[in-house]
Structure 1
Amino acid sequence: MVSVSMTVNGKSVTREVEDRTLLVSFLREDLGLTGTHVGCDTSQCGACVVHLDGQAVKACTMLAAQADGCTVVTIEGLAKGDQLHPVQAAFREHHGLQCGFCTPGMIMTAVDMIRRHDGKLDEATIRHELEGNICRCTGYHNIVKAVQAAADEMSGATQAAAE
Protein backbone atom coordinates (compact mmCIF):
# COMPACT_ATOMS: atom_id res chain seq x y z
CA MET A 1 0.00 0.00 0.00
CA VAL A 2 1.06 3.55 -0.75
CA SER A 3 -0.41 6.87 0.32
CA VAL A 4 -1.35 9.22 -2.51
CA SER A 5 -2.33 12.85 -2.16
CA MET A 6 -3.50 15.04 -5.01
CA THR A 7 -5.95 17.74 -5.87
CA VAL A 8 -8.87 16.39 -7.90
CA ASN A 9 -11.36 18.86 -9.36
CA GLY A 10 -10.22 21.47 -6.86
CA LYS A 11 -10.43 19.25 -3.76
CA SER A 12 -7.48 17.80 -1.87
CA VAL A 13 -7.68 14.03 -1.47
CA THR A 14 -5.45 11.53 0.30
CA ARG A 15 -5.98 7.77 0.16
CA GLU A 16 -4.09 4.54 0.77
CA VAL A 17 -4.04 2.46 -2.41
CA GLU A 18 -2.31 -0.64 -3.70
CA ASP A 19 0.92 0.18 -5.49
CA ARG A 20 -0.47 -1.10 -8.79
CA THR A 21 -3.71 0.97 -8.70
CA LEU A 22 -4.25 2.77 -11.98
CA LEU A 23 -5.22 6.43 -11.91
CA VAL A 24 -8.47 5.62 -13.74
CA SER A 25 -9.36 3.03 -11.07
CA PHE A 26 -8.48 5.45 -8.28
CA LEU A 27 -10.74 8.13 -9.77
CA ARG A 28 -13.65 5.78 -10.43
CA GLU A 29 -13.50 3.39 -7.48
CA ASP A 30 -11.90 5.37 -4.68
CA LEU A 31 -13.31 8.80 -5.48
CA GLY A 32 -16.55 7.82 -7.25
CA LEU A 33 -15.79 9.97 -10.31
CA THR A 34 -17.28 7.65 -12.91
CA GLY A 35 -17.27 10.14 -15.77
CA THR A 36 -13.76 8.94 -16.60
CA HIS A 37 -14.48 5.76 -18.55
CA VAL A 38 -12.51 2.55 -18.93
CA GLY A 39 -12.76 1.47 -22.53
CA CYS A 40 -9.86 -0.65 -23.64
CA ASP A 41 -7.29 -0.87 -20.81
CA THR A 42 -4.58 -0.50 -23.46
CA SER A 43 -4.53 3.31 -23.95
CA GLN A 44 -5.93 3.08 -27.46
CA CYS A 45 -9.49 4.37 -27.07
CA GLY A 46 -9.07 7.61 -25.11
CA ALA A 47 -12.21 7.18 -22.99
CA CYS A 48 -10.12 7.68 -19.83
CA VAL A 49 -8.52 11.04 -20.69
CA VAL A 50 -8.13 13.44 -17.76
CA HIS A 51 -5.94 16.49 -17.25
CA LEU A 52 -2.88 16.03 -15.08
CA ASP A 53 -1.24 19.33 -14.16
CA GLY A 54 -3.01 20.91 -17.12
CA GLN A 55 -2.14 18.33 -19.77
CA ALA A 56 -4.29 15.56 -21.22
CA VAL A 57 -3.23 12.05 -20.18
CA LYS A 58 -4.77 8.63 -20.50
CA ALA A 59 -5.56 7.61 -16.94
CA CYS A 60 -5.45 3.90 -17.78
CA THR A 61 -1.71 4.12 -18.44
CA MET A 62 -0.75 5.85 -15.19
CA LEU A 63 -0.50 4.59 -11.67
CA ALA A 64 -2.30 6.62 -9.03
CA ALA A 65 1.06 6.91 -7.24
CA GLN A 66 2.50 8.69 -10.30
CA ALA A 67 -0.12 11.42 -9.82
CA ASP A 68 0.89 11.96 -6.18
CA GLY A 69 1.22 15.69 -5.56
CA CYS A 70 -0.42 16.58 -8.88
CA THR A 71 -3.59 18.38 -9.87
CA VAL A 72 -6.13 16.24 -11.73
CA VAL A 73 -9.20 17.51 -13.55
CA THR A 74 -11.84 15.05 -14.72
CA ILE A 75 -14.92 15.64 -16.85
CA GLU A 76 -16.81 16.31 -13.61
CA GLY A 77 -14.47 19.22 -12.89
CA LEU A 78 -14.94 21.16 -16.13
CA ALA A 79 -18.33 22.77 -15.56
CA LYS A 80 -18.70 25.63 -13.11
CA GLY A 81 -21.87 24.74 -11.24
CA ASP A 82 -24.71 24.67 -13.76
CA GLN A 83 -22.63 26.41 -16.45
CA LEU A 84 -21.08 23.96 -18.88
CA HIS A 85 -17.54 24.43 -20.10
CA PRO A 86 -17.62 25.85 -23.67
CA VAL A 87 -16.49 22.48 -25.07
CA GLN A 88 -19.24 20.64 -23.20
CA ALA A 89 -21.78 23.18 -24.46
CA ALA A 90 -20.51 22.83 -28.03
CA PHE A 91 -20.80 19.02 -27.89
CA ARG A 92 -24.41 19.41 -26.78
CA GLU A 93 -25.18 22.12 -29.36
CA HIS A 94 -23.57 20.31 -32.31
CA HIS A 95 -24.67 16.77 -31.38
CA GLY A 96 -21.07 15.70 -30.77
CA LEU A 97 -22.18 12.61 -28.91
CA GLN A 98 -24.23 9.57 -29.66
CA CYS A 99 -24.03 6.83 -27.05
CA GLY A 100 -21.88 9.11 -24.89
CA PHE A 101 -19.25 6.56 -23.90
CA CYS A 102 -16.35 8.32 -25.63
CA THR A 103 -17.65 11.81 -24.88
CA PRO A 104 -15.76 12.53 -21.62
CA GLY A 105 -12.43 11.55 -23.16
CA MET A 106 -13.19 13.43 -26.38
CA ILE A 107 -14.09 16.57 -24.42
CA MET A 108 -11.01 16.39 -22.19
CA THR A 109 -8.81 15.87 -25.27
CA ALA A 110 -10.51 18.79 -27.04
CA VAL A 111 -10.03 21.16 -24.10
CA ASP A 112 -6.31 20.35 -24.04
CA MET A 113 -6.07 20.63 -27.84
CA ILE A 114 -7.72 24.06 -27.87
CA ARG A 115 -5.41 25.25 -25.09
CA ARG A 116 -2.26 24.04 -26.86
CA HIS A 117 -3.27 25.62 -30.19
CA ASP A 118 -4.57 28.87 -28.65
CA GLY A 119 -7.97 28.12 -30.21
CA LYS A 120 -6.56 28.26 -33.75
CA LEU A 121 -7.70 24.95 -35.18
CA ASP A 122 -8.71 23.70 -38.57
CA GLU A 123 -10.53 20.50 -39.41
CA ALA A 124 -7.37 18.60 -40.39
CA THR A 125 -5.67 19.46 -37.10
CA ILE A 126 -8.72 18.49 -35.06
CA ARG A 127 -9.02 15.14 -36.85
CA HIS A 128 -5.30 14.46 -36.41
CA GLU A 129 -5.37 15.35 -32.70
CA LEU A 130 -8.41 13.11 -32.10
CA GLU A 131 -6.68 10.03 -33.55
CA GLY A 132 -6.03 8.71 -30.04
CA ASN A 133 -9.75 8.73 -29.21
CA ILE A 134 -12.18 6.21 -30.63
CA CYS A 135 -15.89 6.79 -31.22
CA ARG A 136 -17.53 3.48 -32.01
CA CYS A 137 -20.74 5.24 -33.09
CA THR A 138 -18.83 6.99 -35.91
CA GLY A 139 -19.84 10.40 -34.64
CA TYR A 140 -16.63 12.08 -35.75
CA HIS A 141 -18.25 14.58 -38.12
CA ASN A 142 -20.28 16.20 -35.34
CA ILE A 143 -17.43 15.84 -32.83
CA VAL A 144 -15.14 17.77 -35.18
CA LYS A 145 -17.85 20.43 -35.66
CA ALA A 146 -18.25 20.73 -31.89
CA VAL A 147 -14.51 21.08 -31.28
CA GLN A 148 -14.24 23.68 -34.05
CA ALA A 149 -17.17 25.67 -32.64
CA ALA A 150 -15.74 25.57 -29.12
CA ALA A 151 -12.29 26.60 -30.36
CA ASP A 152 -13.79 29.50 -32.30
CA GLU A 153 -15.83 30.61 -29.28
CA MET A 154 -12.95 30.27 -26.83
CA SER A 155 -10.57 32.01 -29.22
CA GLY A 156 -13.07 34.86 -29.61
CA ALA A 157 -13.51 35.12 -25.84
CA THR A 158 -9.73 35.22 -25.38
CA GLN A 159 -9.39 37.83 -28.08
CA ALA A 160 -12.18 39.98 -26.58
CA ALA A 161 -10.56 39.81 -23.14
CA ALA A 162 -7.25 40.98 -24.60
CA GLU A 163 -8.82 44.03 -26.28
Structure 2
Amino acid sequence: MSNQIPFDLFAMWKDLYDKTESQWSKIFDESMRKEDFSEFMGQFLNMYLQYQNMVKQSTEKYLAQANMPSREDISNLASLIVNLEAKIDNLEEIIEEELSHQLNSLNMAREITQVKNEMKNLDKKLNQVMDLLQKQAKSPSLSVTKVEASKETTSKEKTEQKKE
Protein backbone atom coordinates (compact mmCIF):
# COMPACT_ATOMS: atom_id res chain seq x y z
CA MET A 1 0.00 0.00 0.00
CA SER A 2 2.81 2.38 0.61
CA ASN A 3 3.86 1.96 -3.05
CA GLN A 4 0.63 3.47 -4.35
CA ILE A 5 0.77 7.06 -5.64
CA PRO A 6 -1.96 9.28 -4.18
CA PHE A 7 -4.37 11.09 -6.51
CA ASP A 8 -2.89 14.51 -7.48
CA LEU A 9 -5.52 16.99 -8.65
CA PHE A 10 -2.97 19.64 -9.68
CA ALA A 11 -1.05 17.19 -11.88
CA MET A 12 -4.29 16.16 -13.57
CA TRP A 13 -5.23 19.82 -14.22
CA LYS A 14 -1.76 20.61 -15.64
CA ASP A 15 -1.92 17.58 -17.93
CA LEU A 16 -5.37 18.62 -19.21
CA TYR A 17 -4.11 22.19 -19.77
CA ASP A 18 -1.07 21.01 -21.73
CA LYS A 19 -3.21 18.80 -24.01
CA THR A 20 -5.91 21.41 -24.73
CA GLU A 21 -3.85 24.60 -24.85
CA SER A 22 -2.54 24.10 -28.37
CA GLN A 23 -6.02 23.21 -29.68
CA TRP A 24 -7.61 26.31 -28.16
CA SER A 25 -4.77 28.46 -29.45
CA LYS A 26 -5.41 27.26 -33.02
CA ILE A 27 -9.15 27.90 -32.70
CA PHE A 28 -8.66 31.45 -31.41
CA ASP A 29 -6.01 32.24 -34.04
CA GLU A 30 -8.36 31.12 -36.83
CA SER A 31 -11.29 33.10 -35.46
CA MET A 32 -9.18 36.26 -34.99
CA ARG A 33 -7.91 36.12 -38.55
CA LYS A 34 -11.42 36.23 -39.97
CA GLU A 35 -12.95 39.48 -41.16
CA ASP A 36 -16.01 38.91 -38.97
CA PHE A 37 -13.93 39.11 -35.79
CA SER A 38 -12.40 42.43 -36.87
CA GLU A 39 -15.84 43.85 -37.64
CA PHE A 40 -17.13 42.64 -34.28
CA MET A 41 -14.20 44.23 -32.42
CA GLY A 42 -14.69 47.50 -34.35
CA GLN A 43 -18.40 47.56 -33.46
CA PHE A 44 -17.62 46.71 -29.85
CA LEU A 45 -15.08 49.54 -29.59
CA ASN A 46 -17.54 52.01 -31.16
CA MET A 47 -20.24 50.97 -28.70
CA TYR A 48 -17.79 51.28 -25.81
CA LEU A 49 -16.76 54.79 -26.92
CA GLN A 50 -20.42 55.81 -27.19
CA TYR A 51 -21.06 54.40 -23.72
CA GLN A 52 -18.04 56.20 -22.32
CA ASN A 53 -19.16 59.49 -23.92
CA MET A 54 -22.67 59.03 -22.50
CA VAL A 55 -21.28 58.38 -19.01
CA LYS A 56 -19.07 61.46 -19.28
CA GLN A 57 -21.96 63.69 -20.34
CA SER A 58 -24.30 62.36 -17.66
CA THR A 59 -21.58 62.81 -15.02
CA GLU A 60 -21.03 66.41 -16.11
CA LYS A 61 -24.78 67.09 -15.99
CA TYR A 62 -25.04 65.50 -12.54
CA LEU A 63 -22.10 67.50 -11.23
CA ALA A 64 -23.60 70.70 -12.68
CA GLN A 65 -26.95 69.98 -10.99
CA ALA A 66 -25.22 69.08 -7.72
CA ASN A 67 -23.27 72.34 -8.01
CA MET A 68 -19.94 70.49 -7.95
CA PRO A 69 -16.93 71.18 -10.18
CA SER A 70 -16.14 68.89 -13.07
CA ARG A 71 -12.67 67.69 -14.02
CA GLU A 72 -12.46 70.45 -16.63
CA ASP A 73 -13.43 73.07 -14.05
CA ILE A 74 -10.74 71.83 -11.68
CA SER A 75 -8.09 71.81 -14.42
CA ASN A 76 -9.07 75.39 -15.39
CA LEU A 77 -8.83 76.41 -11.76
CA ALA A 78 -5.42 74.75 -11.47
CA SER A 79 -4.12 76.66 -14.49
CA LEU A 80 -5.46 79.91 -13.03
CA ILE A 81 -3.70 79.17 -9.75
CA VAL A 82 -0.42 78.47 -11.55
CA ASN A 83 -0.73 81.77 -13.45
CA LEU A 84 -1.55 83.59 -10.20
CA GLU A 85 1.49 82.08 -8.48
CA ALA A 86 3.69 83.24 -11.36
CA LYS A 87 2.32 86.77 -11.06
CA ILE A 88 2.86 86.73 -7.29
CA ASP A 89 6.46 85.61 -7.82
CA ASN A 90 6.99 88.49 -10.26
CA LEU A 91 5.49 90.97 -7.79
CA GLU A 92 7.71 89.61 -5.00
CA GLU A 93 10.78 90.13 -7.17
CA ILE A 94 9.70 93.69 -8.02
CA ILE A 95 9.04 94.49 -4.34
CA GLU A 96 12.39 93.04 -3.27
CA GLU A 97 14.20 95.09 -5.92
CA GLU A 98 12.33 98.24 -4.88
CA LEU A 99 13.07 97.67 -1.19
CA SER A 100 16.72 97.09 -2.00
CA HIS A 101 16.79 100.30 -4.03
CA GLN A 102 15.09 102.24 -1.22
CA LEU A 103 17.50 100.80 1.32
CA ASN A 104 20.43 101.84 -0.85
CA SER A 105 18.91 105.33 -1.21
CA LEU A 106 18.41 105.56 2.55
CA ASN A 107 22.01 104.53 3.19
CA MET A 108 23.15 107.05 0.61
CA ALA A 109 21.09 109.80 2.28
CA ARG A 110 22.62 108.93 5.66
CA GLU A 111 26.09 109.06 4.20
CA ILE A 112 25.35 112.42 2.55
CA THR A 113 24.03 113.81 5.85
CA GLN A 114 27.12 112.54 7.62
CA VAL A 115 29.39 114.15 5.03
CA LYS A 116 27.47 117.45 5.38
CA ASN A 117 27.92 117.38 9.15
CA GLU A 118 31.61 116.66 8.78
CA MET A 119 31.92 119.51 6.28
CA LYS A 120 30.18 121.89 8.71
CA ASN A 121 32.54 120.84 11.49
CA LEU A 122 35.54 121.27 9.22
CA ASP A 123 34.22 124.69 8.22
CA LYS A 124 33.88 125.67 11.89
CA LYS A 125 37.41 124.51 12.61
CA LEU A 126 38.71 126.35 9.60
CA ASN A 127 36.94 129.52 10.77
CA GLN A 128 38.52 129.10 14.21
CA VAL A 129 41.96 128.69 12.66
CA MET A 130 41.37 131.76 10.48
CA ASP A 131 40.22 133.78 13.51
CA LEU A 132 43.28 132.73 15.48
CA LEU A 133 45.57 133.59 12.59
CA GLN A 134 43.93 136.99 12.21
CA LYS A 135 44.22 137.67 15.94
CA GLN A 136 47.84 136.56 15.92
CA ALA A 137 48.53 138.82 12.97
CA LYS A 138 46.99 141.78 14.83
CA SER A 139 48.72 141.08 18.11
CA PRO A 140 51.90 139.05 17.88
CA SER A 141 51.96 138.59 21.63
CA LEU A 142 49.10 136.05 21.55
CA SER A 143 49.89 133.58 24.20
CA VAL A 144 50.40 129.91 23.56
CA THR A 145 47.79 129.11 26.19
CA LYS A 146 45.01 130.52 24.06
CA VAL A 147 46.05 128.31 21.15
CA GLU A 148 46.04 125.27 23.43
CA ALA A 149 42.58 126.20 24.73
CA SER A 150 41.25 126.32 21.19
CA LYS A 151 42.77 122.87 20.54
CA GLU A 152 40.90 121.51 23.56
CA THR A 153 37.60 122.90 22.27
CA THR A 154 38.27 121.30 18.91
CA SER A 155 38.95 117.91 20.49
CA LYS A 156 35.74 118.19 22.55
CA GLU A 157 33.77 118.86 19.37
CA LYS A 158 35.29 115.77 17.77
CA THR A 159 34.21 113.54 20.64
CA GLU A 160 30.69 115.00 20.49
CA GLN A 161 30.50 114.26 16.76
CA LYS A 162 31.57 110.67 17.30
CA LYS A 163 28.86 110.22 19.90
CA GLU A 164 26.23 111.36 17.42
Between the two structures, name the one with larger relative contact order (CA 8 Å, sep ≥ 6).
Answer: 1
TM over 0.5: no
Which band: TM-score by shorter chain? under 0.3
Structure showing the higher strand proportion among its residues: 1
Q: Which has the higher helix share?
A: 2
Question: What's the TM-score, normalizing by structure 2?
Answer: 0.18
Q: Structure 1 length as normaliser, TM-score?
A: 0.18
